[in-house]
């Protein structure tokens, strides 16, 4: 994630999702899905999505996030567990009867149909009268900002415009749940930013429960009410973006979300941890019986000051607008990243000697690698 966007991306939501409208409540209960090769995609997933909430499923490739989305859509059948929507078990309900709208990464528009007819396709299948279909399609194209594009075919539209049409098509039947499977990953950065803001605006205005699969941390943290981090088919943590970033529940979450330094430390008799010349309080429990540990620290909590006799050496400095990320080498082959205000980082050029410190705050401590 870009250093300059971290603060905005992790800003907390001020309005509880459940107060925003009539979206459905979705529950995953003990979901397990194993494929023939012995790969376990979901390993007892328990997760609840509140009505009207936008929940992002985030994790590395193969963590199970897309499988979870396909299970709720009805494209995958779990080996064990249940999927409930507003208390109704839909685990064995066919996909075409689940009242869920899905938007794919690849758009999946019909190339021989205009934008208007693509949006109206599901209504035509359900035999909605032609006049009603046309009115609804025009309304939705207006909603997604494409009122003049109804007669255009997919090849006549940009990727961002095609994805807007796909979103309008998913909303045409007024689904109880909207499912988004990495819908922005094929777009360039500027279009991606614009479209994610539009998706969030629409989701908030409609109050529809939305599950958004992404591998992009910035997308997840900036769009979602809560983010569920998956790892090897299991839920590591589900929390608001600010909590996920500032108070990660596990070392995996701490290192996967954002950037994290891993520094050698030593537990003290007082229960604190000594690290880079400071003593810090421990967040949670330290590894039992361990003296030598590793300490997880965000770059923005690292300080660096020019000092001719300092034991750190600046290796590189990367400018990100208001923030500059400085990479320093410490004794013992340890490297540390520090995110500093650019106005204070000008003197920290490569080769300069410096002193490194940490802001006083609780830190996560894990067992030292053997």
Is 40's pLDDT higher than 70?
A: yes
Residue 345: strand, helix, or coil: coil
Residues 214-243, mean pLDDT to the nearest whole number: 94
pLDDT given at position 104? 85
Checking 69-72 for CB contacts under 8 A at 24+ apart, the result is 69/102, 69/179, 69/181, 69/211, 69/213, 71/28, 71/31, 71/33, 71/42, 72/26, 72/28, 72/98, 72/100, 72/177, 72/179, 72/211
Least confident residue range of 140-154, 187-201, 255-269, 273-287: 187-201
Which sequence spans correspond to the domains of the chain?
3-99+175-254, 259-367
Is 213's pLDDT higher than 80?
A: yes
Are the CB atoms for 43 and 59 separated by under 8 Å?
no
* Integer Cα distance of 147 and 144 in angstroms: 8
Give the model confidence (pLDDT) of 259-286 as tens digits.
Answer: 999 999 999 999 999 999 999 999 988 8
Give the model confidence (pLDDT) of 81-100 as tens digits.
Answer: 999 999 999 999 999 889 89
Is 71's pLDDT higher than 90?
A: yes
DSSP secondary structure string for all residues of 329-343: EETTTEEEEEEEEGG
> Exposure of 194 by Cβ count < 10 A (0-12 exposed, 13-18 middle, 19+ buried)?
middle
Which token pair is 32?
Answer: 């397990």
- Is the C-alpha dihedral spanning 249, 250, 254, 256 positive or negative? negative
CATH topology of domain 3-99+175-254: Rossmann fold (3.40.50)
Same fold, 3-99+175-254 and 259-367: no
pLDDT given at position 18? 39
pLDDT given at position 286? 83
Share of the chain above pLDDT 90, in %: 69
Residue 107: count of CB within 10 angstroms of its CB:
20
Question: Which has more pLDDT, 28 or 10?
Answer: 28
Checking 7-15 for CB contacts under 8 A at 24+ apart, the result is 8/222, 9/217, 9/218, 9/221, 9/222, 9/241, 10/221, 10/241, 10/242, 10/244, 10/245, 10/246, 10/258, 11/222, 11/241, 11/242, 12/240, 12/241, 12/242, 12/243, 13/225, 13/240, 13/241
pLDDT given at position 21? 47
Q: How far is CA 7 from CA 10, 11, 237, in A?
A: 6, 6, 20
* Integer Cα distance of 165 and 366 in angstroms: 47
Give the model confidence (pLDDT) of 51-68 as tens digits.
Answer: 999 999 999 988 999 999
* Integer Cα distance of 314 and 288 in angstroms: 35
* HSE value, Cβ hemisphere, 13 Å, CA-based, for 361: 11
Is 11's pLDDT higher than 80?
A: no
Residues 155-173, mean pLDDT to the nearest whole number: 91
Give the model confidence (pLDDT) of 320-332 as tens digits.
Answer: 999 999 999 999 8
Helices (H), the chain: 6-9, 65-73, 115-125, 130-143, 159-171, 189-206, 217-223, 241-246, 251-256
Specify which residues 357 forms β-bridges with. 303
Question: Which residues lie below 8 Å from residue 121, measured CB to CB, with a gap of 6+?
Answer: 110, 113, 169, 172
b or e along 139-152 (b: 16 or more beta carbons within 10 Å of the residue's beta carbon)? ebbebbbbeebbeb
CATH architecture label of 259-367: Beta Barrel (2.40)
Residue whose structure tokens are 């992404």: 214
Is 198's pLDDT higher than 50?
A: yes
């Amino acid at each position: 994630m870009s250093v300059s966007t971290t603060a905005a991306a992790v800003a907390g939501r001020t309005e509880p999702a459940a107060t925003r409208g009539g979206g459905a409540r979705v529950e995953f209960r003990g979901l397990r899905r194993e494929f023939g090769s012995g790969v376990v995609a979901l390993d007892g997933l328990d997760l609840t999505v509140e009505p009207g909430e936008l929940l992002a499923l985030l994790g590395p490739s193969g963590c199970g996030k897309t499988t979870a989305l396909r299970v709720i859509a009805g494209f995958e059948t779990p080996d064990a567990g249940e999927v409930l929507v507003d208390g109704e078990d839909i685990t064995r309900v066919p996909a075409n009867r689940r009242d869920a709208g899905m938007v794919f990464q690849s758009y999946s528009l019909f190339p021989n149909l205009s934008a208007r007819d693509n949006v109206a396709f599901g209504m035509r299948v359900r035999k909605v009268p032609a006049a009603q279909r046309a009115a609804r399609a025009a309304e939705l194209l207006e909603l997604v900002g494409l009122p003049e594009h109804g007669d255009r075919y997919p090849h006549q539209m940009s990727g961002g415009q095609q994805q807007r049409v796909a979103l309008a098509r998913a909303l045409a039947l007024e689904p109880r749940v909207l499912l988004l499977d990495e819908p922005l990953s094929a777009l360039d950065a500027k279009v991606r930013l614009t479209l994610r803001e539009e998706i969030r605006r629409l989701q908030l205005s409609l109050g529809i429960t939305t599950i958004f699969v992404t591998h992009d941390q910035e997308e997840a943290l900036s769009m979602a009410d809560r983010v569920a981090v998956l790892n090897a088919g299991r839920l590591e943590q589900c929390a608001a973006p600010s909590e996920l970033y500032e108070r990660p529940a596990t070392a995996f979450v701490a290192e996967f979300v954002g950037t994290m330094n891993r520094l050698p430390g030593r537990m003290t008799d007082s229960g604190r941890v000594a690290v880079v010349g400071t003593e810090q309080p421990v967040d949670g429990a330290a590894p039992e019986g361990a003296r030598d540990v590793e300490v997880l620290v965000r770059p923005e909590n690292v300080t660096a000051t020019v000092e001719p006799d300092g034991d750190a050496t600046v290796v590189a400095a990367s400018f990100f607008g208001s923030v500059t990320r400085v990479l320093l080498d410490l004794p013992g082959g340890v490297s540390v990243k520090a995110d500093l205000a650019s106005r204070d980082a000008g003197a920290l050029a490569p080769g300069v000697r410096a002193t490194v410190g940490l802001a006083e705050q609780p830190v996560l401590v894990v067992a030292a690698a053997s």
